A and B are shown apart, each in its own frame.
Chain A
Amino acid sequence: MPENNYRLLYSTVLCLLLSAVCFSQTIIKGQLTAQDSALELYSASILLKKGDSILAYTYSNQQGNYRLTTTETGLLQLTYQSLGYQPKTKKVELKPGQEVLSLDIKLIHNSQQLQAVLIESDRPIEVREDTVVFAASYFTNGTEESVEDLLKKIPGLNIDDDGTITVGNQEIEKVMVEGGDFFGKGYKLLTKNMPAFPIENVQLLKNYSNNNLLKSIEDSEKVALNLTLKDNAKRVWFGTIKAGIGNGDYHSAKGNLMNFGKHNSYYLLGSMNTIGQDVFNDIRSIMYAQHFDEAGHIGDNEHAKRRIDISRYTPDIGASRTNFNNDKLLSFNAIFNPTERLKVKPILFFNWNSQRFYRRRREAVKAEGTEFVNNENYHLHHKSYTLFGKLDVHYNFSETQSLKAVTRYNSRDNTANAALIFNSQATKEALEAQNERFDQKIIYTNNYAPQKVFLLSGRLIHERLPERYRVNQFYYQQLFPALPQADNVGQYSRNTLFYLGFNGHLMRRGDNDNLFELQLGNEYRSDDLTTRFSIFDQQKLLNQPAGYQNQTTYRVNDLYLKGSYEFNFNAFSITGKLAIHQLINRLDNNNTPKEETPFFINPGIHLGWDINAKNTLSASYNLNTSTAEILDVYDSYILTSYRSFDKGTGQFQQLQASSASLFYQFGNWTDRFFVNATVLYVKNHDFLSTRSILQQDFIQSEKMLIKNREMLSVNSQLNYYFKALNSNLKVQLGYSQSDYKNIINDAALRTITSLTSTYGIELRSSFDGFFNFHIGTEWRRSQVKTGREIATTDNQSFLNLLFKFSESFDAAVQSSYYYFGNLEQDQTYAFLDLEVNYALIKNKLGLQLRGKNLFDTQEFNRYSISDISTSTTSYRLLPRMVLLSAKYRF
């Protein structure tokens, strides 16, 4: 033991000696005083420098004493500074082994008052009213490849793994380039692909509104980004391509190509697939854009009406499961900014669509003494070609005034051929329909004072929708007993729409955020409906029967004044609405003109009450009178499918309805317990029902005005989070009841009650690990009560499993299970789908494996009930698909 102690002592001494040699420290100390007053200088700085680099520093204490240590030797300098004194620099030379250097210093008082310094340079961020501008060069280092890489370095923007950009907790609306936007919420296509180097500034736009001048009125909490480009940046084309190939005929490809510049930008898109995806749906939203929440938009719901509908009805298992398709889409987009104030944005789409659809149906009809069973085997081949063009012109007169003009044109050719067997009789339907539409909209906005905006808008729409329809069978012998030789029919129909609307809209937001709105406008709509129904013997025209030909002109001119006032008071908000309409309507059925000038007032009220932090209640009531549409007022029958005729009332109608709704919420989304419930009640004081002749071969219906129809619906949702299971339980309950009336086969007016109740339960996990699940089931009971009562109960269940093995490897398994209680056989169906994603090179090259309908189910059967029948329908399904895709960014 003592030996050990000695060893320790030796080594300690050795260490001390060594350190004394190698790291000999010099202490520099002393006292600072003022030269004139001998005052001790407190909090003066003392810097020890070698050349320009600072070796050590300290501040003097209250007695003016200071103390520095250094291991450095040689020629050094000491700088002594105190506010109000002239700085003093002392050169010293420290020799190795020198332990202490004492230096007392006297500083000379500086009688000159120091001048204030203003710093103007060095501004990485500019904050303007609702805009924050980040100078990209300040935050980047040149290694950023894509815009996404660059945005990751901009403070305050969060970009998650899949590229979603959030500011705080809120996702951004869009990413614009020089104020122009192609993609809206689909901005990832831009941010993931566009190179970073041309970006000069990133602008964060808070309280973002699509119409900049409405910002002070709308309560927008939206955020958006705008990228400005360097003037001299070189333009490059970039994009992505994704291509996949599968078993059988399955393939899918999609390519994007784009180029952005200071004054013009281009974006090209092409896609094709045979995997059931209907790409026309993607452009539909651009063609028929709805702007419910934006001021200044009128005429959004004005469309020509089609009469023949042989498009397919799909069961609710996802339309892509029954869509045997071959779709192609090409799109060209550009944005031009010829001047600061002017922006021109043309868009052009071409879509070729070929879809096949197969269905078998057995319908058992039983109503008012009529009873029969129909069997139908239906195969539809639908082809369409669509051309769509849109031109947006936006001109800013000044900070407060702007003009926006939108021109849309589309032309669509549809050809549909159906081969069907109806009760063992082979039948062919052929439809050729063209749709041509021109739509011009102009909106002038004037933000004439803070929180006060005036909008003036005008819109003109002209649309033609001609349809040529042939059926190679004659199922209507009973209706035309005088034509025994008839064996096929044809119908030409055409709806031509002309719409012209003007609207002046004044909005003022006052104290307490109370909003006052006033609109004065005039909307004119004119419909021409021509239909010609012809009965043939082979190619020979036999007859164009009276009562089956329409020559209808319907004009509605609506002059209106609408006002609303939103009043906020503490936890309450009340909105009152009043709309006054003066109409001048003219109806001309087969050269018998009629006129009417109805006047009505539509009032409404909405109440909101935040009872406390947990409870929210709102209620609204509306009384609404509406005037009949073209499809309500024609007076002769129109063939609408191979076995049905429809007819309007031939009269003017005003329909009045009251509706009341109530909404209650307990808790918030992030609370353990969260419940909401909605009750909606609608009473139609007048409504249009039907008087129908129901025969095995055909149905003939005529609209008629009936009083009093009621509808009640109740929906509620309950959420409870189980902490121990890390899972949320959701229970959904729904109930709806509607009572209506109709006439079948000249019997008395009968009352129909239709009831639906749904019960659903779901459990979803919130695990931190690589695995999560979502499981649920829902029962739905439908009931129709007429004289008799029919009911059916269906069930739908699902289990989804999510795996995230790593940043670059994830998988999702989705399975669903269906059960139809009233089916005699094949009551249950199961589907299994799979998606696996693997990134070979992150953001550059990725692989995807998709499996759909892996159990290879051939047909899907559904059972449904109505007031006249029960039916079983089988839909043919796309066979098992396994598709391997690669996505590449260039």
Chain B
Amino acid sequence: MALFYDGTLPGFFTALGRHHNRLIDGHSLIKSSTPKSGDLFFTTKVVPTDHSYSTRIVERLSQRMGRESLSTLGLAFLSEETDVEATLLAFIALALKQGPEALQNHADPTVHRVRTLARRTSRERHRLLGLLRFIRLGDGLYLARIAPKSHVVPLLARHFSRRLADQRWLIIDTERRVGVYGQQGDWELATHIELPDPLPLHPEEAGMAQLWCDFYHSIAIPERFNPKLRQQFMPQHSWRYLTEMMGEEKKS
């Protein structure tokens, strides 16, 4: 039997709660959005998401596994790796048996896998805290576009709402078409966002972006030029919305 859920974290926990035994036995948990490959499974069942039920499940898991295991789980989920569900279920089975200590055994292959996925999300998030660039639009809104591999938009909200407390700002994941909008220290998530093309820029924006590019080029010491080292920290796929590299990307 295969269980289908909506692909969200509350959906995952709903399915886990309602079909615990089946899932621990090894039945598959699959995102509904996954393209169906023929009749691979004889029986299927769709699990509707129940938010309040999911919250109760999370609370019980937190008590049994510890908060750190739970947040590692959440981060790993957001990595959106294929078949992440199987990894998470294996880890949950382990952590339910061994408690919070389970997470500390880095040698265990299941723990290692979950931690690796969580680290992937976490690293991408931290990298974006730095690489994300805002553009000032005509109406004063600061807009940033990102195209991350993991679903990190919810993880960026708190940082930017603290940092830009007196600005109106919007971060958009251009592939997933989700975003987070903030002002006055508050923020909210948004879905199905469309951007106007071309973007209506604030009159001072072009000058400011040019100043940043000027600085970016002046600050490098020519005798130390090392594009290979730069590539290591800032691979080309991260240059897409990077103000200072937009000229470079066209060249290469």
> Do they bind each other?
no
